[in-house]
Amino acid sequence: MTHPYRSGDVDVDAIALGIVETFPSLDRFEKRLSLELYRLLSGGQPVTRAAVADRLESSVEKVDRILDGWPGVFSDSDRRIVGYWGLALAAAYRSPHQLTVGGQRLSAWCAWDTLFLPELLGKPAEVESRSPDGGAVRLIVMPTEVEHVEPTGAQVSFLMPDAAKVNQDIVGTFCHFVHFFPSRPTGEAWAAQHPGTFILSVAEAHAVARCKNHTQYGEVIGSG
């Protein structure tokens, strides 16, 4: 199957499918719940489960049951959600990967999160990221394209996730290996010291991001 967001010789489908398979399988209601949770969290404040239920015109009990069964949902002492699968409130999670959406400063769990989140949020993101060696990368990511990359030769380290490990500790087993680098040589030098990692261009990583989004959420993407 050919996608309009395919890039070069990278097997976008295989990488995206490998990522999607680490997430819980979602029915249509759960897809809508996931997207609404992302969108509410992007508002920059802790999200109550009642607010999620209200957006979905559902019961809090149903939302509770689903969220309590998902990994990757982080809450404060009042059970308000402060982090969810790649996106977190800046005050709740310190990260080298920062994005500004609708004027709100947010944290991403890894570099690649900043490439798939804008499409799910339906909003552009200004991204600032620091690589492990201290190099800075800045991007403007629109819902369907990367509009600006600085420096232009920036790259992304990547790792195929292990479902069992990700469900136990997604940050430690996946996110800590996915970074922006100012150039391919700096990325390759780092990847050589971290077995299992490989380097993608920003365009390739964004192609994987869009394929992941559409494989995971299908027709629900773009719904209000």
Helix (H/G/I), strand (E/B), else coil: 54: helix
Residue 223 CA neighbour count, 13 Å, CB half = 16
In one letter, which amino acid is 92?
A
The residue from 27, 64, 68, 113 that is catalytic is 113
In the residue annotation, 110 being an active-site residue is answered as yes
Omega prior to 143 cis, within 30 of 0: no
User: Which residues, in sequence order, are CB contacts of 81 under 8 Å at separation 6+?
Assistant: 37, 41, 46, 47, 48, 49, 52, 67, 73, 74, 75
- Is 113 among the catalytic positions? yes
CA dist., res. 204 & res. 199, Å (int): 10
Q: Which of 9, 11, 110, 133 is catalytic?
A: 110
175 is catalytic: yes
Q: Helices 12-20 and 202-217 sit at what angle, rounded to 10 degrees?
A: 50
Contact 220, 32 (CB under 8 A): yes
Q: How far apart are CA 150 and CA 137, in angstroms?
A: 6
- 3-state class (DSSP) for residue 41: helix
In 3D space, the residue among 157, 146, 152 whose CA is nearest the CA of residue 210 turns out to be 146
Which DSSP symbol is given to 219?
A: G
Active site residues: 110, 113, 175
